[in-house]
């Protein structure tokens, strides 16, 4: 092996070992049912357990930190503390994955339609008085934004209504997927066209759908929730097309 080849392959070997250790630490966290707030063994102990240098352990811990699975704490009792993976960290990865695929509006709505109906049905009977009040307050705030001509704020609040339904769901996967799509719509949609009248009509449609949804949730009427949500999603897609909405291409930097 030439010197150049040796120096090119050496870092690869080192990265590979630290990745293996990072992977093994993930398995340990799962196997030992470690919870957020608990700490991994300190560096010295990990060096002994894996029989490797401090640099390799640090690299492995750094990889877990970048993934958002641990946070490094300093001090005498310092070390890698396990933290819950945030929805933002998970969403960021998924956006990066989607960045290199061509995701169009119709595809997003094809998925959103089905998921929002499923989410609506999943939370029937799960919204307590406080959650229902939260939805009603959101409708009022949304109304005020549209009345004041603050369309971007109204649009963001409109999506918050759907986030509140995610909060009420006990299905973490469904909640995550719906919230992820809401965040794409909130951060990445640009409107190219459309008149003020059309924006107002879109806003009015959203508010009316949300009012009907709250009534159906109050009555715990699953049939009405499914019907209103399906219509709402179809109309929303239609309006987005009329307003010439499109996704900004950059999903790498996020916002």
Angstrom distance (rounded) from CA 21 to CA 12: 14
Cβ proximity to Zn ion, 63 vs 161, nearer residue: 161
**Residue 118: CB partners within 8 Å, gap ≥ 6?**
174
Cβ 111 to Zn ion shortest distance, Å: 16
Q: Is 247 helix (H, G, I), strand (E, B) or coil?
A: strand
**Residue 29: CB partners within 8 Å, gap ≥ 6?**
40, 69, 82
Q: How far is CA 181 from the centre of its chain?
A: 8
Angstrom distance (rounded) from CA 44 to CA 67: 22
Nearest in space to 228 (alpha carbons), one of 211, 240, 252, 242: 211
Task: Name the residue with the smallest CB distance to Zn ion.
Answer: 206
Strand 70-73 to 79-82 pairing: antiparallel
Cβ 236 to Zn ion shortest distance, Å: 6
Residue 83 structure tokens: 């933290």
Which whole-number Å values give the CA distances from 83 to 18, 78, 151, in the listed order? Answer: 20, 14, 37
Nearest in space to 182 (alpha carbons), one of 61, 95, 253: 95
Cβ proximity to Zn ion, 81 vs 163, nearer residue: 163
Cβ 210 to Zn ion shortest distance, Å: 6
Number of residues that bind Zn ion (CB under 5 A): 1
Q: Phi, psi (5° rounding) for residue 140? A: -65, -45
Cβ proximity to Zn ion, 202 vs 247, nearer residue: 202
Cβ 232 to Zn ion shortest distance, Å: 6
Cβ proximity to Zn ion, 161 vs 247, nearer residue: 161
Cβ 178 to Zn ion shortest distance, Å: 11
Residues 115-174 that bind Zn ion (CB under 5 A): none
Cβ proximity to Zn ion, 79 vs 175, nearer residue: 175
Cβ proximity to Zn ion, 43 vs 163, nearer residue: 163
Cβ 141 to Zn ion shortest distance, Å: 14
Cβ 205 to Zn ion shortest distance, Å: 9
Contact 80, 61 (CB under 8 A): yes
Tokens 């999903």, residue located: 251
70 beta partners? 82
Cβ proximity to Zn ion, 56 vs 206, nearer residue: 206
Residues 171-210 that bind Zn ion (CB under 5 A): 206
- Interacting residue ranges for Zn ion, rule: CB under 5 A: 206
């Amino acid at each position: 092996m030439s010197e150049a080849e040796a120096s090119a392959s050496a870092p690869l070997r080192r990265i590979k070992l630290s990745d293996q250790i990072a992977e093994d630490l993930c398995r340990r966290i799962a196997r030992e049912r470690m919870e957020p707030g608990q700490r991994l063994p300190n560096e010295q102990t990990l060096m002994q357990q894996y029989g490797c240098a401090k640099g390799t352990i640090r690299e492995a811990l750094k990889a877990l930190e970048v993934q958002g699975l641990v946070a490094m704490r300093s001090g005498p009792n310092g070390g890698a503390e396990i933290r819950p993976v945030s929805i933002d960290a998970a969403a960021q990865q998924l956006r990066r994955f989607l960045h290199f695929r061509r995701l169009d509006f119709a595809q997003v709505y094809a998925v959103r339609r089905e998921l929002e109906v499923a989410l609506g049905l999943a939370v029937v009977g799960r919204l307590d008085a406080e959650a229902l009040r939260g939805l009603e307050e959101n409708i009022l705030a949304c109304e005020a934004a549209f009345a004041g001509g603050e369309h971007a704020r109204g649009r963001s609040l409109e999506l918050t209504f759907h986030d509140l339904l995610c909060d009420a769901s006990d299905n973490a996967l469904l909640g995550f997927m719906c919230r992820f799509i809401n965040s794409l719509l909130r951060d990445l949609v640009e409107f190219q066209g459309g008149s003020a009248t059309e924006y107002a009509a879109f806003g009015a449609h959203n508010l009316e759908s949300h009012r009907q949804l709250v009534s159906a949730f109050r009555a715990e009427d699953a049939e009405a929730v499914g019907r209103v949500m399906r219509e709402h999603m179809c109309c929303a897609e239609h309006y987005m097309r009329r307003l010439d909405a499109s996704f900004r291409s950059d999903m790498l930097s996020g916002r």
